[in-house]
């Protein structure tokens, strides 16, 4: 019986376990939060990521993975000396630091927003602004998640205030990208180097939090999908990556810029549970266990809507055809992802209507996520 | 947070929990076996069905259901005085006793095999054989499961030996039904009386154990489906049933005879996880929780093959298109159901070929389940 150890016990971990049980796997989660959602469905070691607990954790599991990218890189490296860890800890190091990530992408000749590193001197800000025109986005280099740690700055006064608020945290400044829409690609690479790509997904954010995904993204030419896969392939190969990798893109003038990388299963891939031949969760597990990857082909068209902050009445949602409710067992709290709903339809033209029906049922104002996504996002 | 209490912690319970987590449910299983498969994925109270443990169990859950029909009826009745129990304990009483079940079906004018009750006198056997011609099947009235507790008897000498072996256990004698094939219907009834029926499934048994199911069963005329639904409806309504009910049929001369009832989710409904809009497990939970039932429409055609006794190499199975492995986390043992595989195909004509491929991969001899199913079964 193979036991998978997971660092982090949030909903992504919970969904991993639910996908892994049919493969006969056992799961053990290490998470310092007492009420981790994965703890309802699997063993949960409620402990900090210190060496004593990590050593004990490593002894009890056959392979380790993680469900969020802010796992201390030292913890992953410590575990990797005792038990296989996938994705490789190097992927954590690159993606935990927005500057490292941008430099890594530049090295691979993958387009991103213009950026400049800030140190703790005003001079570095000034120098950056010689290259980047206002408005700009100031981002902390570390611990960004769901739009946290970033501010849109329109004026020099705002820049100065943000820089003061930053204290001496390392940061980057990014040029604002005028984009048509946000897309993401869920990619997976097996231990044998085999790779799979799901179709590009269209994502809509509000306040930096994903609200809706349409999958496959409507109006994607094969050339755009190929471009996305090419960029993902460079990242996967360079890192010797194993598992699911998510690449978030901006689409601008029919081309892609990488916004960020997530070395894990991703909210914009939840639709794959019902909407693809094999879910991102099952494929991540297949990858890290050295099993053959499953087909990434879509099954129909899917609209995924997040349930944020409050829990809707499940009754009308459960009455909709081919509509699947996923709750994470979390207590309601403002801005918290409590679950999601995936509705499958036969054709892309039906997706928007289904999103509107779901928005109505979950009490989301009309037009949410359909406006200026980027300005909302930063 | 609703907690569902389940009596029995086998694979059916495990699959119920995996279907219920996305609905935000918690699960607690009561099972006297230490290694109950549901215990890997949920809380497992490892205790006997005595009043002390039942009372404590009732206090911790919001609703109770069961995943096997040999739950002591007294235990269900004890619980029903403290917490809602679905399906109703009366369904357990009827289905636990083969004679009660047959009399109940006769009362509802639902055709079955010819039968006669035996008491502990040889005279009752003799009397039965005046009505039923040899060969006959002798079945214990209680604790039958997977073909256990039944014997096919061809001669008077076999009858006598079987009767002696029976001791004084109550039993029934049944006429042997010459049938074309075995079918089953998974039905579900909600707390509001709403009902749903999945399409009839064709089942093949060996030694009383289900080996393969084809769903929807090929070559089923609408009239046959209607007949099955009519019989199921009589049972559901009469029992005030809530939850999933399985009706096993023999098909003979284009008509149906009921073989037996199972007041629970069923192995011949496992295909619904991938092969139907809503799985039997999710619909059972929706029913007992008073949620709207989900669609029972099939999605493509499914072949379900049980993994019995030994675990196959998962690699070639996972390479097949639209093929889904489900392991129960059980240690291999002769005759034990360790998991199942469901393969989805686009048309019924492709089902047999897919079954043959799976048989080959799991090391099952060709022709298993395609021979004299009934003679194998008894």
Q: How far is CA B373 from CA A262, B3, B204, B367, in A?
A: 53, 41, 6, 11
| Model pLDDT, residue B5 | 98
Judge whether B328 is closer than 8 Å to chain A, CB to CB.
yes
pLDDT above 50 (res B376): no
For residue B91, is it within any domain? no
Does A319 contact chain B (CB < 8 Å)? yes
User: Which of these three, B145, B175, B205, is where a domain ends?
Assistant: B175
Q: What is the pLDDT of residue B367?
A: 58
Shared domain for B223 and B123, answered yes or no, is: no
Residues A281 and A296 in one domain: yes
Say if the Cβ atoms of B324 and A22 lie within 8 Å.
Answer: yes
Cβ neighbours of residue A14 under 8 Å, at least 6 residues apart? A37, A38, A40, A41, A42, A328, A329, B21
Residues of B in contact with A14 (CB under 8 A): 21
Which candidate, A256, A259, A250, places its Cα nearest to that of A179?
Answer: A250
Residue A201 domain flag: yes
B234 in a structural domain: yes
What residues in A contact B24, CB-CB < 8 Å?
A: 311, 325, 327-329, 339
Percent of chain B with pLDDT over 90: 80
Q: Find out whether B10 and B39 touch, Cβ atoms under 8 Å.
A: no
pLDDT at B368: 62
Cα(B307)–Cα(A86) distance, rounded to whole angstroms?
30
Q: Is residue A102 one of the residues assigned to a domain?
A: no
Query: Taking CB atoms and an 8 Å cutoff, what residues of chain A touch B329?
Result: 1, 21, 24, 26
Mutate which of B1, B22, B277, B304 to test chain A, going by most A C-beta atoms within 10 A?
B22
Q: What Å distances lie between residue B36 and A73, A369, B14, B25, B269, CA to CA?
A: 37, 46, 9, 20, 21
pLDDT digits (tens, 9 = 90+) for B134-175: 999 999 888 765 556 788 999 999 988 988 888 878 899 999
Rounded CA Rg of chain B: 20
B135, part of any domain:
yes
Is the CB of A346 inside 8 Å of chain B's CB atoms? no
Closest CB from B292, B324, B328 relative to A315:
B292
Asked if B330 and B352 sit in the same domain, the reply is: yes
| Record: contact A1-B327, CB cut-off 8 A | no
Residues of A in contact with B270 (CB under 8 A): none
Q: What is the pLDDT of residue A149?
A: 74
Whether residues B139 and B204 fall in one domain: no
Kindly state whether A175 is in contact with chain B, defined as any CB-CB distance less than 8 angstroms: no
The pLDDT mean for chain B works out to 92
Find which of A28, A40, A191 to mutate to test the B interface (most B CBs within 10 Å of its CB).
A40
Distance CA A119, CA A173 (A): 11
Is residue A202 located within the same domain as residue A345?
A: yes
pLDDT confidence of residue A371:
41
Query: Which residues of chain A lie closer than 8 angstroms to B324, CB-CB?
Result: 22
Contact between chains at A329 and B41 (C-beta distance less than 8 A): no
Residues of chain B with C-beta less than 8 angstroms from the C-beta of A286: 318
d(CA B164, CA A258): 79
**CA Rg value for chain A:** 20
The SS3 assignment for B54 reads helix
Distance from the A40 Cα atom to the nearest Cα atom in chain B, whole angstroms: 7
Q: Which residues face B115 on adjacent strands?
A: B174
Element (H, E) at A272: helix A272-275
Chain B nearest CA to A372, separation (Å): 32
Question: Would you tell me which residues 268-287 of chain B have a C-beta closer than 8 angstroms to some C-beta of chain A?
Answer: 277, 286
Omega before A165 cis (within 30°)?
no
Which among A31, A91, A81 has a CA at the least distance from the CA of A55? A81
Instruction: Based on the fold, state whether residues B200 and B298 are members of the same structural domain.
Output: yes
Angle in degrees, 0-180, between the axes of helices B73-80 and B89-96, rounded to the nearest 10: 170
One domain, residues B225 and B318: yes
A186 and A299 in a single domain? The answer is yes
**CB burial of residue A306 (10 Å; 0-12, 13-18, 19+):** buried
Q: Name the residue range of residue A29's domain.
A: 3-85
B300 vs A22, B62, B248, B293, B351, CA distance in Å? 21, 36, 23, 20, 11
Instruction: Say yes or no for a CB contact (<8 Å) between A294 and B318.
Output: yes
Instruction: Work out the angle at residue A114's Cα, subtended by the Cα atoms of residues A108 and A115, and round it to the nearest 5 degrees.
Output: 90
pTM score of the predicted model: 0.93
pLDDT of residue A145: 56
Joined tokens for residue B81: 């005085």
- Does a structural domain hold residue A95? no
Angle between the N-to-C axes of helices B51-60 and B73-80, in degrees from 0 to 180, rounded to the nearest 10: 40
Distance, first Cα to last Cα, chain A: 45
pLDDT tens over chain A, length 378 residues: 899 999 999 999 999 999 999 999 999 999 999 899 999 999 999 999 999 999 999 999 999 999 988 888 889 999 999 999 999 999 999 999 999 999 999 999 999 999 999 988 888 888 999 889 899 999 988 876 555 678 899 999 998 898 888 887 889 999 998 899 999 999 999 999 999 999 999 999 998 899 999 999 999 999 999 999 999 999 999 999 999 999 999 999 999 999 999 999 999 999 999 999 999 999 999 999 999 999 999 999 999 999 999 999 999 999 999 999 999 999 999 999 999 999 999 999 999 999 999 999 998 876 565 443 444 343
CA nearest A289 in B: which residue? B315
A378 touches chain B (CB under 8 A): no
Tell me if ipTM is over 0.85: yes
Å between A64 CA and nearest CA of chain B: 19
Kindly report the CATH number assigned to the domain that includes residue A132. 3.30.1490.20
CATH number at residue B69: 3.40.50.20
pLDDT given for residue B146 in this prediction: 58
* Cβ-defined contact of A295 to B1 (cutoff 8 Å): no
Q: Phi and psi of A136, rounded to 5°?
A: -130, 170
pLDDT tens for each residue of B208-265: 899 999 999 999 999 999 999 999 999 999 999 999 999 999 999 999 999 999 999 9
Query: Is residue B107 in a domain?
Result: no
**Which residue from B41, B294, B327 is facing A41, i.e. has the nearest CB?**
B41
Place of tokens 């199975």: B317
Q: Domain check: are A190 and A167 in the same one?
A: no
Q: Distance (Å) from the C-alpha of residue B9 to the closest C-alpha of chain A?
A: 15
d(CA B249, CA B256): 6
Q: What is the mean pLDDT of residues B369-378?
A: 42
Is B346 at the interface with chain A, CB within 8 A?
Answer: no
Q: Which of A97, A47, A51, A52 is nearest to A74 (CA)?
A: A51
**The two structure tokens encoding residue A337:** 């992802």
CA-nearest residue to A328 within chain B is: B24
Same domain, B170 and B235: no
Q: Which DSSP state fits A176?
A: P
One domain for residues B138 and B194: no
Residues near B262 by beta carbon (within 8 Å), at least 6 away in sequence = B69, B95, B245, B246, B248
Counting the structural domains of chain A, the total is 3
Residue among B17, B291, B327 minimizing CB distance to A314: B291
Give the number of A-B residue pairs with CB atoms closer than 8 Å. Answer: 75
Burial of A130 (0-12, 13-18, 19+ CB in 10 A): exposed
CB contact under 8 A, A277 and B327: no
Q: Which residues of B touch A322 (CB under 8 A)?
A: 277, 295
Spell out the long-range contacts of A43-49 with Cβ–Cβ below 8 A and sequence spacing 24 or more.
Answer: A44/A9, A49/A7, A49/A75
Q: Would you call A361 an interface residue with chain B, using a CB distance cutoff of 8 Å?
A: no
Q: Which two tokens stand for residue A196?
A: 């799979």
Report DSSP state, residue A38: G
Task: List pLDDT tens digits, range A76-93.
Answer: 999 999 999 999 999 999
Q: Is A105 inside any structural domain?
A: no
pLDDT tens readout for residues B85-103: 999 999 999 999 999 999 9
d(CA B64, CA B73): 13
Q: Which residues pair with B252 in a beta bridge?
A: B255
Q: How many residues in chain A?
A: 378
- From chain A, pick out residues whose CB is under 8 angstroms from the CB of B40: 21, 26
What lies within 8 Å, CB to CB, of B216 at 6+ separation is B199, B200, B201, B298, B301, B348
User: Could you tell me if B282 and B358 lie in one domain?
Assistant: yes
Whether B272 contacts B186, CB under 8 Å: yes
Whether A26 sits inside 8 A of B14 (CB atoms) is no
SS3 B329: coil
**Other beta carbons less than 10 A from residue A157's beta carbon:** 9
Distance CA A144, CA B222 (A): 58
Nearest to A146 by CA among A251, A10, A275: A10
d(Cα A54, Cα A295) in Å, to the nearest integer?
Answer: 34
* Binary contact (A329, B1; C-beta < 8 A): yes
Q: Residue A188 in 3-state DSSP?
A: strand
Distance from the Cα of residue A192 to its chain's centroid: 24
């Amino acid at each position: 019986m193979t036991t998978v150890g997971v660092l982090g016990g949030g909903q992504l971990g919970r969904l991993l376990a639910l996908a892994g049980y049919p493969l006969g796997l056992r799961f053990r989660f290490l998470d310092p939060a007492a009420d981790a959602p994965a703890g309802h469905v699997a063993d949960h070691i409620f402990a900090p990521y210190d060496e004593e607990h990590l050593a004990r954790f490593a002894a009890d599991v056959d392979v380790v993975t993680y469900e969020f990218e802010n796992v201390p890189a030292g913890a992953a490296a410590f575990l990797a000396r005792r038990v296989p860890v996938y994705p490789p800890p190097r992927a954590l190091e690159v993606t935990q630091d927005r500057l490292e990530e941008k430099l890594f992408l530049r090295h691979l000749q993958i387009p991103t927003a213009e950026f400049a590193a800030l140190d703790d001197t005003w001079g570095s800000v000034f120098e950056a602004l010689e290259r980047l025109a206002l408005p700009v986005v100031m981002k902390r280099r570390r611990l960004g998640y769901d739009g946290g740690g970033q501010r849109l700055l329109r004026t020099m006064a705002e820049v100065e205030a943000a820089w003061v608020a930053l204290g001496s945290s390392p940061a980057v400044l990014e040029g604002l990208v005028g984009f048509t829409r946000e897309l993401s690609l869920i990619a997976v690479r097996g231990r044998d180097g085999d790779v799979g790509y799901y179709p590009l997904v269209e994502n809509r954010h509000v306040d930096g939090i994903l609200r809706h995904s349409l999958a496959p993204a409507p109006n994607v030419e094969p050339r755009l999908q190929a471009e996305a896969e090419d960029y993902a392939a460079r990242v996967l190969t360079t890192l010797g990556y194993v598992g699911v990798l998510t690449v978030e893109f901006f689409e601008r003038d029919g081309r892609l810029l990488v916004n960020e990388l997530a070395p894990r299963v991703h909210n914009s891939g939840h639709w794959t549970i019902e909407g693809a031949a094999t879910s991102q969760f099952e494929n991540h597990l297949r990858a890290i266990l050295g099993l053959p990857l499953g087909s990434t082909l879509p099954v129909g068209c899917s609209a995924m809507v997040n349930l944020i902050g409050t829990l809707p009445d499940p009754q009308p949602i459960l009455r909709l055809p081919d509509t699947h409710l996923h709750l994470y067992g979390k207590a309601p709290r403002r801005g918290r992802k409590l679950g999601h709903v995936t509705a499958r339809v036969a054709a892309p033209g039906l997706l928007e209507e289904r999103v509107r029906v779901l928005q109505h049922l979950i009490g989301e104002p009309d037009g949410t996520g359909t406006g200026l996504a980027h300005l909302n996002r930063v």
